[in-house]
Chain A
C-alpha cells in the first residue's frame, strides 16, 4: 500500500507531534525538556530517512557497489545531535538552579511563587 511506503515519514510526524504536545501541555520542566528531546529526535529521523537510497550500499568506496546511500544527512545529524545534547545539558542545569531557587520544577508553581 502506498501509505506504508513512506512509513518512516509518518513516524517522524507522529513522534514530532508527541514531543511538541509534551512541551506545550506538561507544566513540569523536566517533562518539557524530554518532549523537546523527542521533538528534535523526530527531526533527526526525518533527515536520516532522506539519506537512504533504495538498494544503496554504505557510502564507502567499494568495487562491488554502484549505488551508495547519501552520507551528507548523517553528517548533518551528527552535528545536530551534539546541539541537541548541549541543549539538554543547559536545560537541565537551569532546572537544577530553578529547583534551588523555587523548590519546585513545575511551571505553574513557579509562576505562583513569582506573583506572590
Chain B
C-alpha cells in the first residue's frame, strides 16, 4: 500500500462520495463519511512521515514522492508529486476536514432536512476529494479539473444553506458565476503555457518555461493565471463572492470553505510562483509582487473594516477571512524565507482558528437559532465552554501572544522588515488593531450584555459539538505556545520552495 499512498488519498474519498448515499438514512452516511475522512487523515500523516524521512536522507530538495498514474511516463502521463510543501497542505486539509466531519452530525441534522443529509455527506466527501487532489497533483490541467470538482460541490453545498436562509441561493449562484470565470481564466493561462511549452507536467513546465524569459505568451499566461487564482482565493478586489457564500452556507461548509478551500487556491498560486514559473519570471517581468502586496494590504484593511460593520457572526468571520487571505498573500509576495514561512504557517494557523470559530457559530445556531449580535447577548453565562473557545479563537485572529495567530504575524512582520518594506509591517499591525475592534464587539455582546429574557433556558451545547471545536481551538493554542513543530514544518516547506528557484 505504501507505494500507492498518493493516489489512495484521492481515490478513497472519491469512492466514499459515491457510496455515501447508499448508507441508509440514519447515522449511516455520517458515520461512513467520518470513517473515510479519518482514514484519509491517517494516510496523509503516513505520507508526511514518508516525505520527512526522505528529506533526512536526501536533503530537502530530494524529498519527493512521485507517483505516475497508470504507469504512464512522466511528461505525458499524470504525475502525483508530493514534497515537503504539499504534504503539509494535505495534512492540513485532512486534519480540518476529519475534525469538522465529527462535528457535522448534530449540526447537519439541525440545519438540513433528514431526507437530504446523505446527499450533503456525499457532496462533502467530493469537495474534500477535490481539495486533496489539487494539493497532490503534479499536472496543471489536473489542477483545473480537481479545482472544479471541489468548486462544483461547494456551490451545491452553499446552496444547501437555503433551509436556513434563502439568501444562500443567490450567494451560491453568484459564487458559481465568479468561480467559473476564475477557473476559466486559469484554464486560458494553462492553454497559453501549453501552446509555448507543449507540456502540462509541473516539473517539465518549470524547466521549459524558464528558457522563455521574455516570451510575450508566457507573460500573458501569467496574467490570466494570477487573475483566475485571485478570483478563486478571493483576493481583494475579487473578494465579492466570499462574504455571502461563506456567510449563508451551512456552518460546517463555511468552516471548510474558509479554512481550507481558499487556501488551496493560494497554494496553487504559491506553487506557480515558486516552483513552476520561478520568482524571476513571475515577479520581475511584471510588477506582480508589488500588485500582490498592494492587493493584500487593501484586503487586510478593507476586509477588517467591513468585518467591524457586520452584525451576523458568520458574515463577520467571512470578512475576516478576506483579511486573512491578505496576510497569506502578503507573506509569499515578499518572496523571502521569513515571509514565505509566515505565509505557510498562517495557512495552518488560520485554518485551525477559523474553522473553530465557524463551528462556534454553528453551535450558536444549533442552540439559539441565529448567530447575530442580538441573539448572542449574554450567552457567555449559559454556554461557558463554547464561548471560551470563541474568545481563544478571537484572540488568535487578533494575533495576541500565546495564540497561533501571534506566531504567523511575527513571521510576517519580520519578513516585511527583512525586505525593507516597513509599510507592510505597519499594515499587518494595523490589521491586528482592527481585529481587536471586531472581535471585541462580539465579546462585549457575549459577556457584558444582559441576555434576551425569553432565552434564559439555553444550556451548554452537547459535547459532540463542543469537543471538535475545542480540538481545533486547542490545537491553535498549542501551536501558539509551542510553535516548534509548526515552524519546523513550514520552514522546511519555505526552504524547499525557495531552493527550487
Contacts and interface: CB of A to CB of B under 8 A. Distances in A.
Interface string A3-43: 00000000000000000100100000100110010011001
Nearest to A101: B166
Contact of B155 (A36, A39, A94, A111): A94
Nearest to A111: B170
Contact of A36 (B181, B187, B194): B181
Interface stretch (B44-52, B171-179, B386-394): B171-179
B180 interface: yes
A32 B177 contact: yes
B141 A40 contact: no
Given A102-B166, A114-B170, A46 B177 contact: no
B31 interface: no
B375 interface: no
Most chain A beta-carbon neighbours within 10 Å: one of B145, B166, B173 = B173
A19 B173 CA distance: 17
Contact of B176 (A47, A50, A91, A111): A91
Contacts of B155: 90-91, 94
Nearest to A36: B180
Contact of A29 (B173, B181, B194): B173
Contact of A90 (B156, B166, B191, B195): B156
Contact of B173 (A20, A95, A111): A95
B181 A23 contact: yes
B148 interface: yes
B184 interface: yes
Contacts of A36: 177, 180-181
Contacts of B350: none
Contacts of B194: 50, 73
Given A40-B184, A50-B194, A73-B194, A110 B170 contact: yes
Given A36-B177, A39-B181, A101 B188 contact: no
Contacts of A58: none
A85 B172 CA distance: 17
A83 interface: yes
Contact of A86 (B152, B159, B191, B195): B152
Contacts of B184: 39-40, 43
Contacts of A87: 148, 152, 176, 180
Contacts of B144: 80, 83
A39 B172 CA distance: 20
B180 to A, nearest CB: 5
A66 interface: no
A97 B169 contact: yes
Sorted from nearest, which 3 A-B pairs have the closest CB atoms? A101-B166, A83-B148, A94-B173
Interface of A: 20, 23, 29, 32-33, 36, 39-40, 43, 46-47, 50, 73, 76, 79-80, 83, 86-87, 90-91, 93-95, 97-98, 101-102, 107, 110-111, 114
